[in-house]
Amino acid sequence: MSTEQTDVVVIGAGPGGYVAAIRAAQRGLETTIVERGEPGGVCLNHGCIPSKALIDVARAAGGVGRMADRGVHAEPTVAFDELSEWQDSVVERLTGGVEQLLDANGVTYREGTARFKDEHTVEIDPPSLTADSTTLSFEHAVIATGSRPIELPGFSFDDEPVLSSRDVLDLSERPDRLVVVGAGYIGMELSTAFAELGTDVTVLEALDDPLPAYGDELVEPVAERARELGISFSFGEAAQEWYEDITGAPVVVTETEDGEQQEYEADAVLVAVGRRPVADTVDPDAAGVTVDDDGFVVTGENGQTSQEHIYAVGDVAGEPMLAHEASHAALHAVEAIAGGEPGPVGPVPSVVFTEPEIATVGVAPDAAEREVTVGRMAFRGNGRALTAGEEEGFVQVVADADDGTLLGAQIVGPEASELIGELTLAVRNELTAADVAHTVHAHPTLGEALMEAAANVDGEAIHTVNR
């Protein structure tokens, strides 16, 4: 066993880990990053990127089929195997980019599984059983080991028809019938994509509505579009088990609170009921790092753990379990390690890549702890949305009733994921609704809806009359 030393060891090379490693190296710290899988982590390899590749292709293919009213008559076909190959090529290009960035910044990359031996030492087990382990001593550590899909009792991911969100993105053939367990953001994004590609999709949800983390007004356009795509919903039903019928096809059994059971036939079953942290692999107890009852590493300001020289960022540190939050938390953690005072991360936007998209940031009207004024602009009054055939949804901004400071925003509609950036900037910098309203936005653009919603706070909107 060899022994090495480093200033900073980063465990995990996902969007939190590789960003932490690069910034630490930029701050002049000798940095080693350890990853047991592929560079880029789950997000790049098995989540955010491949899922958006799938979603964008599905959206484009489905959109062509809905353009008859605009004079376009076509029935596109998607070669799923070719789509999968292209999807893989995008991932490979980005993972290669992460490796190049780490190397260019002088970060030492170690492939293997790192676990703490004590509060200043990790042991790295290489992927090959024939290679020797390495002991690495460190001054500071950043835990960025991410999360894994939650496995439901009775639905083992080892069973071929049962798919995790990772498995479904590795399919080389499109299932004709897909049962999706869970109507959260992962379940809804993938349900919409597969329905656009021609799969018969049934969504099972134990709660009463899809996307329970979002308000009814934001979810309604998404649910309506999903039903237009042929997605069937069954709410108030908890998935219990699955079995194979006489033809070998999987059948999912659900049960209501009253004990009533239903059965749903499928070719594949996607279980998307959330994610849990991956902290067990690093043996946090050995370093004296506190973990809560749910397995998340307990952190304070800038991701500092119960050991002041060890930090944790991203999914392993708890909500919000978002890649972009992990990256920014990593920057703040490293600034603290380097002796700076970075302050808290935020505000953090949240995005759902459904049809239409949902994006939020900051305070919602019903959650405000002060008197607020709400301004809104419907996309049906926006020229660019109409030319794109995407008039569903609205932009809503929440402002302090006294001074007009923007506190939050909610968008459901076309390109919501892109539009939320401007309003996140406004909330972060405590700009007022008037600041946004008086900023000239190019015409015709979707961004004009932000300007109109902000103007609506003061009753000065030109293209809408409803505050």
Residue 461 CA to residue 444 CA, distance in Å, equals 16
Residue 448 CA to residue 379 CA, distance in Å, equals 10
Per DSSP, the three-state class of 111 is strand
**Could you give the dihedral angle defined by the CA atoms of residues 139, 316, 324 and 396, in that order, rounded to the nearest 10 degrees?**
-140
Please report, for the chain, how many H helices and E strands are present, in that order.
12, 22
The phi and psi torsions of 45 (rounded to 5 degrees) equal -90, -35
Per DSSP, the three-state class of 47 is coil
The phi and psi torsions of 22 (rounded to 5 degrees) equal -65, -45
Residue 146 CA to residue 99 CA, distance in Å, equals 18
| Active-site entry in 73, 140, 441, 443 | 443
441: annotated active-site residue:
no
Determine the angle formed by the axes of helices 48-65 and 80-104, rounding to 10 degrees: 140
- What stretches of 236-391 adopt beta strand conformation (E)? 238-244, 250-255, 261-265, 268-271, 275-277, 310-312, 350-352, 357-362, 372-378
Nearest Cα residue to 10 out of 308, 318, 299, 333: 333
Are the beta carbons of 465 and 456 closer than 8 angstroms?
Answer: no
Residue 304 CA to residue 388 CA, distance in Å, equals 46
β-bridge mates for residue 242, sequence order: 252
Residue 288 CA to residue 307 CA, distance in Å, equals 7
Residue 177 CA to residue 290 CA, distance in Å, equals 44
Where do we find the tokens 């480093």? 6
**Exposed e or buried b per residue across 236-271, where buried means at least 16 C-beta atoms within 10 angstroms of its C-beta:** bbbbeebeeeeeeebbbbbbeeeeeeeebebbbbbb
User: Catalytic site residues?
Assistant: 443
